Chains A and B, each alone.
Chain A
Amino acid sequence: MAEKEYAYFSGCSLEGTAKEYDTSFRLVMKTLGVTLTEPEDWSCCGSTPAHTVDHVFAAALAARNLAIVEKMNIGTLTTPCPSCLMAFKKAHLGMTEDEAFKDQVNELLDEPYEGGVISKSSLQIIYEDVGLEKIAEKVTHALPDLKVAAYYGCIMNRPPDVAQFDDPENPVAMDRVISALGVEVRDYAFKTECCGAAFGVPKRAMVNELTYKVLSMAVDAGANCIAVACPLCQQNLDLRQEQVNRAMGASFNIPVLYFTQIMGLAYGYSPKELDMDKLVVSAGPLIKTRIPIAEYRAMKEAEAAAAKKTPKAREAKEAAKTEES
């Protein structure tokens, strides 16, 4: 496989509250042989607040970065943050579909954006460009205790004609990536139900209830940790878990990991390297049982050999039944 290169827009959160997402993503990409080049002097994408001001203005904040990336001649930009991604995609779509809109946006910019950059989420490049085979190939460690509920958040796949990735109602990319690592995944219905992160600060009561729903659905599905791909989701589900417990009379204690951290663990990086200590709800006990993959396989084979007699017997019984009828 040829070396891949992307312009890497980490976004403001990954410089601060989501540092561990940045760290783990970079490590994983190194393992998978993907080069990330940070656009020089990038600025904030504008996110939701800019969209309350004006469509052109919001697009301009995003397009400033797209213009920088366009100059880098890499073609594809990747960002781990769905909020940034959405800002880029909407600006790009608006500017490529509507000439007049493009002119208005470029009027606000020093360097015009011509529409030559494709934006993809980090999950998308891992799932589609790297591929499940390669993801599985690099695994060095098994994580037998993890039961993961993958949480995509509201705007990773929506609206479908903007996101153009995976299913808007039942996305599976993250589930499949984690499964490819050999880690157990639990299916549940709230993968895309909004957790309320956008209003984490000003409307806390409202957010508590939404977060509560997502957490309880994951727990009901038998998950013991949640994987996320969005810094806002992570912050909301992890940092605010205690707020939720207090407000809703619950007692959640479920670690919320970035999916890239799980990948890193399967690829043998130490919890320290992956900034696991930055999680508020510790994942320590769950990952304590991590073992090298070879050892794990040997163990499983032994187990299987011991259990072999049973299925044979069942088969024989089945055959007898057929004869009877």
Chain B
Amino acid sequence: MYKVYFQTYEMDTINLSEKTNWEFIEQVQKESGENLSLCYQCGNCTAGCPYTNYFDYPVSMVMRLLQTGQKDTILNSKAIWLCATCETCTTRCPCEIDVAHVMDTLRIIARRENKVSEKDIKMFYDAFLDSVKRFGRIYEVGTLLTYNIRSGHFMADADLGPKVLTKGKIRFFPTKIKGSDKVAQIFERFRTKAKKHG
């Protein structure tokens, strides 16, 4: 009748005087545009999060870790990568915090600092973006293959293959749009700009 999904996480005593990373708190507030102090730890975001059972830290605890400036714990967490931006937390937060956007911001920072705990997900995203860069659009077979090869999950979704193929759902060849170079340029410009700024 009373169902609990258990989380496992380990934590040492945190010496707040030493281990509060104030710059990190500032950085996240600035990049996300959200005031982290608004969170009063009601847990509503966790209560609604469809993925919480797979998170190492439920989203309200990510918010708490943020408030206490626990940079490494957060950037190394699986939670920020397992968040699917489903916007449930943002929709229901009584304090009107755009929690999903905060999670988004944390992924960006983690990626920038090369701290990605969920390699698979990042790889999948990268495969996706590669396709966009090369063809201007998503080429599903290619994306899947790239992902499978890079992640070592060779058989991922292989069982679906026959179904999809017989239904004529997948194109074997990518459509490359005329302006694919224009799209690639967006990637390039972004990369140059990012390099310039740090």
Contacts and interface: CB of A to CB of B under 8 A. Distances in A.
Question: Is any CB of A less than 8 Å from a CB of B in the complex?
Answer: yes
B5 to A, nearest CB: 10
B98 A60 contact: no
A203 B126 CA distance: 15
Interface string B115-130: 0001011111110110
Interface in B160-186: 160, 163-164, 167-171, 175, 177-180, 182-183, 185-186
B129 A53 contact: yes
Contacts of A49: 124-126, 128-129
Interface stretch (A29-37, A120-128, A129-137, A193-201): A193-201
A280 interface: yes
A39 B136 CA distance: 14
B98 to A, nearest CB: 7
Contact of B137 (A43, A53, A110, A206): A43
B8 to A, nearest CB: 16
A43 B111 CA distance: 24
A43 B84 contact: no
Nearest to A201: B124
B151 interface: yes
A228 to B, nearest CB: 15
A56 B87 contact: no
Contacts of A209: 53
Contacts of B182: 43, 64, 110
A54 B47 CA distance: 28
Contacts of A46: 132
A287 interface: no
Contacts of B123: 202
A157 B189 CA distance: 33
A201 B194 contact: no
B170 A17 contact: yes
A107 to B, nearest CB: 7
A12 B137 contact: yes
A268 B34 CA distance: 51
A210 B167 contact: no
Interface string A137-164: 0000000000000000011001110000
Given A43-B179, A61-B132, A108-B190, A206 B91 contact: no
A144 to B, nearest CB: 27
B170 A54 contact: no
Given A108-B190, A109-B186, A159-B91, A43 B180 contact: yes
A91 B121 CA distance: 23
B108 A53 contact: yes
Interface residues of B, number: 64
Q: Is the interface of B mostly helix, strand, loop or mixed?
A: helix
Contacts of B128: 47, 49
B138 interface: yes
Contacts of B50: 154, 193-194, 196, 210
B164 to A, nearest CB: 7
Contact of B177 (A42, A54, A199): A42
A57 B186 contact: yes
Instruction: From B31, B86, B164, name the one whose CB has the most chain A CB atoms within 10 angstroms.
Output: B86
Nearest to A160: B91
B82 to A, nearest CB: 7
B163 A194 contact: no
A61 B183 contact: yes
A227 to B, nearest CB: 19
A61 B58 CA distance: 31
A57 B169 contact: no
Given A41-B136, A55-B108, A57-B190, 16 more contacts: A16-B170, A43-B136, A43-B180, A50-B132, A52-B107, A54-B108, A57-B187, A61-B186, A64-B186, A107-B193, A108-B190, A154-B87, A158-B91, A192-B88, A196-B84, A204-B157
Interface of A: 12-13, 15-17, 19, 41-44, 46-57, 60-61, 64, 107-110, 154-155, 158-160, 168-169, 192-194, 196, 198-204, 206, 209-210, 239-240, 242-243, 277-280
27 contacts: A16-B169, A16-B170, A43-B136, A44-B131, A44-B138, A47-B128, A48-B85, A50-B132, A53-B111, A53-B190, A54-B194, A57-B187, A61-B132, A108-B186, A108-B190, A109-B186, A110-B185, A154-B88, A159-B98, A159-B100, A168-B91, A192-B88, A194-B88, A202-B147, A203-B121, A210-B50, A243-B160
